[in-house]
A and B are shown apart, each in its own frame.
Chain A
Amino acid sequence: MRMRRLPARVEAVITRQQHESEMLVGFAQLTIVALLALFYAFAPAGYSPDAPVKAAPLGLSLFAILVLLRLYFALTKQLNTWLIGAFTVAEMAVLIGTIWAYHLQFEHPPIIVFKNTAFLYVFILIALRALRFDPAWVILSGITAAAGWAILVCCALMPARGNPLTWDYVTYATTGKVHLGAELDKVLAIVMATGVLALSLTRSRRILEQSATQTQAASDLSRFFDDDVARRITQADSTAVAGQGMLRQAAILFVDLRGFTKATARLEPSQLIALLGEYQRLIVPIIQKHGGAIDKFMGDGILASFGAVTPSATYAADGIRAVDAILAAASKWQSRRAEDGLIAPGIGAGLAAGEVVFGIIGDKKRLEYTVIGDAVNLAAKLEKHNKLEVTLALAPLKALTLARAQGYEGADKETRSQRNVGGVEEPVDLAVWL
């Protein structure tokens, strides 16, 4: 029925969507049946208690049974094209049959069925089918209704004595006579309503396919970006443009693997990437859990920021907590790898806090966001400086003090005063992790 073949994953999304729609149709129908039954319970009957048929209760209960049976098939995922088709036809048949039964209920010739207001429910039944993104069922429902009504007209006119027809509107409106034009009007209205719904469904179906395809694409691509950045880009009022910059108070964290460069020489390329993957899967979630955003991967280096992408009042405390957590996780990871007889590189980190510029750079075709500022340089240099201090992680004492002010309650760190860090002019007081 569809022209284009969609990727299997997109098909799966649409199938799931259709399954949900089928449930929705079923529950909507049950709600309507319940409402009508409630109205009926309070409305006066208007016919003799020993009438041959009580049309409304009969129709409502048969309809409810059909809906429940279809819901059963939908819930057990057995609903196939044939079953949906059969149920669609059966529902409409129950409605038209109920309208027919009205003349038995009122013990009057069938000609009175043409003035039955229950005819309007034909449109509700067709519209209910539009809850599913498939024009075919709306069309089937509409065709059944139009054909059913045509049959009803024939069946009602056949047994009539004399001439049951009139072409005079006033006679039609004030007597039991049938105006063929009015009946034709009804069938036309069914056909047109069906056509409009089918058209609208064809369009929504296309939009559903597009949206499923694009959601899939977005979720595939979002793995290349940090969550916050992806959200910021998709929810921005205007398309992200290069040149937007924001001044932020942030903490910048550099993490890398000790001895990774040496390891590159000794490992197979696939082992190397496996090691890198394992390390990133260890570190990245910890950073994200503490509110950090991953800004860049550079080989074994990870540049993360706290409070840059999304402003935060606890950026320094978050950063320091992340360092604590990373070092704890890293030591476990190292001993696990060593036990397994694998290369177990250590992890080093450098953290600095201060004012940075967070901005989007690049051109129309390729955008990237970046953090720029003294804190970034200092974090990178501190990370390298670990080697000289023989430490696991370093941060300026100022950053630790700031973190304390922001609510950091971790253990006290050893401090080293007035250290000369390579590439930094002034000596720095350092907090160290051993």
Chain B
Amino acid sequence: MSKTPLNALAIAAALAAAILAVQKTVHLDNLGRNSEARERCYGIARAGKNDCGTPTHSCAALSKINGDAESWIMVPRGLCNKLVGGHRKLGEG
């Protein structure tokens, strides 16, 4: 079969691309952690340092003020309640 080397090349290229895609989109270090290891904490992010999504703007680093009650960052679970101004649900605090 003259197609065998070409097939091997195509499959190898596909595998390489798949590995690259996984490497670019998966944080292997963070993957192991429990999905509940971190929690959202509102009201503590410095302006422009928030993670994401509020009712008024849509994404990361768009908050305009320090400690915006609607902007959040991910913190280790249990930490949020210990922080001044920190709250875990939108609308609290």
Contact = CB atoms under 8 A, between A and B. Distances in A.
Contacts, number: 81
B52 A45 contact: yes
Interface in B5-24: 6-7, 10-11, 14, 17-18, 21-22, 24
B25 A49 contact: no
B88 to A, nearest CB: 12
Given A46-B58, A52-B33, A61 B14 contact: no
B68 interface: no
Interface in B55-87: 58-60, 73-74
A48 B6 contact: no
Given A48-B52, A50-B74, 8 more contacts: A51-B27, A52-B30, A54-B26, A57-B24, A58-B25, A58-B26, A65-B21, A104-B31
Given A46-B59, A53-B27, A107-B35, A69 B10 contact: yes
Interface in A35-54: 44-54
Contact of A52 (B10, B27, B36): B27
A80 interface: no
Contacts of A73: 10
Nearest to B52: A46
In the A-B complex, the 10 residue pairs with the closest CB atoms: A44-B59, A44-B58, A61-B21, A58-B25, A52-B30, A54-B25, A48-B51, A48-B74, A52-B31, A69-B14
A53 B25 contact: yes
Interface residues of A, number: 30
A212 interface: no
Contacts of A174: none
Contacts of B38: 48, 107
B2 to A, nearest CB: 10
A78 interface: yes
B14 A52 contact: no
Contacts of B30: 50-52
B14 A65 contact: yes
Interface in A221-263: none
A175 interface: no
B60 to A, nearest CB: 6
A34 B33 CA distance: 32
B37 interface: yes
Interface of B: 3, 6-7, 10-11, 14, 17-18, 21-22, 24-27, 30-31, 33, 35-38, 51-53, 58-60, 73-74
A289 interface: no
Nearest to B29: A52
Given A45-B60, A53-B31, A104-B35, A76 B22 contact: no
A94 to B, nearest CB: 10
Contacts of B59: 44-46
Given A78-B7, A107-B38, A68 B25 contact: no
A44 B22 contact: no
A44 B60 CA distance: 8
A44 B51 CA distance: 11
Given A47-B51, A103-B35, A110-B35, A76 B74 contact: no
Contacts of A53: 25-27, 31
B41 to A, nearest CB: 11
Contact of B22 (A47, A58, A72, A109): A58
Contacts of A44: 52-53, 58-60
30 contacts: A44-B58, A46-B52, A46-B53, A46-B59, A47-B51, A47-B52, A48-B38, A48-B52, A49-B51, A49-B60, A50-B27, A51-B74, A52-B26, A52-B27, A52-B31, A57-B21, A58-B25, A58-B26, A61-B18, A61-B24, A62-B21, A69-B11, A73-B10, A78-B3, A78-B7, A103-B35, A107-B35, A107-B38, A108-B35, A108-B36
A62 B18 contact: yes
